[in-house]
Chains A and B, each alone.
Chain A
């Protein structure tokens, strides 16, 4: 890393690392265009798996369910997680605040099998007691995913709040804004990036959750990861390759676009700051110190 050059060893390590990360994805993309049904044999280029993918009702309805659950769970997680993060970061310490802080993050470290199982037990006993939820499906999966995602959102929002200058809120209060107004006009806009990344994180987590979902889904409500998993268990499937390729394409272009805009914004910002700094430079001559302080004695 010194003088900007990579040693041969580092170069090699870099290449191996990238191969390790991307060869599997590349081979998946290549084989999605394979005409042969056998995944391991190249039978020429074809788009037939894409065509059959879009006719596969089971996969399409699983995608639709997964997307709906992901958006709904992320939305709920963002609301609850923001409130929890706010309490963790802003409220004075109250008895049990440490316990509360620890418990918020528990779903992140708890084995998902346990979270899933305990939720399942909860829903079953609720059904016996009050009759809802009547069946396992969208609602139960949504509750499970919200619980999981909320913990992540709370952590992200909290750390953003901790690094945000508390004086900004005090200043707003000083200028006459009441607490609720301050939250919506000052705090919320400033933590919006954290909330947005919490939302995206939640969507991702929910879209690819398999374990918790397995406990909470019922007949007729199969999410995308469940479909893929069950299909792949019966042998590799080119349709799934096609689906995965589309996913990679969507995610990849999203990342590239986001990076592009962020870089652009950063550059603009840097230029503006540099310009502002120059503004301080040309100034009046120095005022001699002695003429200011120290009143002389007669």
Chain B
């Protein structure tokens, strides 16, 4: 319904295609600490899936269980129909690109890439053919005989990628693939990496705590918190329809209003929101009884700011401008409501000029409002 781009990236899945990787009820405990808590997940072939979550939420642990470096306390992992839960790492058709690349420092670029192929006992000429194919793929032909320490961060990343792709794994795991690069290089490498992965057509799971990276690179995203997988969906699904407060706040910025359901009709819901000092009206029904405690999430870019009073009604409030962050093509206004709650609103830079109005500044009185199809109702 929304994003043509995101849905175009989607692999042909819903059409009855069966999951390529299936993670079923996987638990990992370290002593009494549960690092991964009953995770169920299905990944389709050729998909680039991103696991997103804050530090220590169990992303790496889940990845290491897929690679075989850790054994699940409970649950099952199936890849392409084969149960690999207890298969040794060196027998799995899965390769991993490590967080700090883990290139072998005493081997040249070529030898690093050839390492996995040698373990498989491939004939010499096939190994060298495969190695040069990989070097071509990541454009590192010129550097074949260098040692890892003679490479820049970006080049090391490409060698690590080539090494993990050389064995043509059924599943590629990427642990913070760009975490070691600086911000500038990262943005450029993101696109480069996606291009390479799509060219090869490998199924991929990547771990990151950078939401922008996940949104840019992945076809689907899984949000993790405290060992649990909270939501899985395409970037736009997760952004537009978060299913809980954690996801709503973790992906992008949002304003959350808590309240009780006051009017509950088939095509309309109203929520009494004390923080707003009024009601939030939503143009669709929800499943839940009257009086239920819910939260409404309103994205800053969906909030309109006016300097003239708006008609009284739901979805609006009066407030004072506390802070303005000018970010070029738009500004973020921090508006403090009567309840003390500060609401963030994103205002396009040309908004005031086009309306022929003077721009509000600090401590000016403004009115905020939004359409009733903007809020998302969250019950958890």
List residues of A whose CB falls within 8 A of some B CB.
165, 167-168, 170-178, 181, 186, 189-190, 269, 272-273, 275-280, 283-284, 286-287, 289-290, 292-298
Contact = CB atoms under 8 A, between A and B. Distances in A.
Interface string B1-22: 1110110000000000000000
Contact of B152 (A168, A277, A287): A277
Given A167-B98, A175-B163, A186-B104, 4 more contacts: A173-B90, A176-B116, A279-B151, A286-B188
B211 to A, nearest CB: 7
A290 B329 contact: yes
Interface string B123-150: 0000000000000000000000011011
Contact of A174 (B67, B151, B154, B239): B67
A279 B158 CA distance: 13
Given A175-B116, A297-B301, A168 B187 contact: no
B115 interface: yes
A293 B120 contact: no
Interface in B83-132: 89-91, 94-96, 98-100, 102, 104-106, 115-116, 119-120
A174 B100 contact: no
A259 B91 CA distance: 45
B152 A284 contact: no
B301 A189 contact: no
Contact of A284 (B6, B102, B120, B188): B188
B252 A172 contact: no
Nearest to A272: B150
A293 B208 CA distance: 14
Contacts of B116: 175-176
B223 to A, nearest CB: 15
B89 A174 contact: yes
A51 B154 CA distance: 64
Task: Describe B's contact surface by its main secondary structure.
Answer: helix
Given A165-B102, A293-B215, A294-B252, A280 B185 contact: yes
28 contacts: A167-B102, A168-B105, A170-B67, A170-B102, A171-B96, A175-B90, A175-B115, A175-B167, A176-B120, A190-B106, A269-B149, A272-B150, A276-B149, A276-B152, A277-B152, A280-B153, A283-B184, A283-B185, A290-B329, A292-B190, A292-B216, A293-B212, A293-B215, A294-B215, A294-B252, A295-B3, A295-B6, A295-B240
A41 B111 CA distance: 65
Contacts of B2: 295, 297-298
Question: What 6 A-B pairs have minimum CB-CB distances, sorted nearest first?
Answer: A175-B116, A176-B119, A167-B102, A171-B102, A272-B150, A280-B152
Contact of B69 (A173, A272, A284, A293): A173
B5 A170 contact: no
B379 interface: no
A287 B189 CA distance: 10
A132 B211 CA distance: 71
A275 B149 CA distance: 11
A275 B150 contact: yes
Contact of A170 (B98, B115, B185): B98
Nearest to A298: B2
Nearest to B216: A292
B162 to A, nearest CB: 12
B191 interface: yes
Contacts of B58: none
B255 interface: no
Contacts of A289: 187, 212
A225 to B, nearest CB: 38
Nearest to B153: A280
A175 B94 CA distance: 9
B99 A295 contact: no
Interface in B1-60: 1-3, 5-6
A106 B308 CA distance: 83
A287 B187 contact: yes
Given A178-B90, A277-B152, A283-B185, A189 B69 contact: no
A190 B102 CA distance: 13
Contacts of A298: 1-3
Given A287-B188, A297-B301, A189 B152 contact: no
A90 to B, nearest CB: 14
Contacts of A171: 96, 98, 102, 104
Interface in B213-253: 215-216, 235-236, 239-240, 252
A38 B95 CA distance: 75
B196 interface: no
B299 interface: yes
A176 B167 contact: yes
Contacts of A168: 102, 104-105
Interface in B173-224: 184-185, 187-188, 190-191, 211-212, 215-216
A168 B112 CA distance: 11
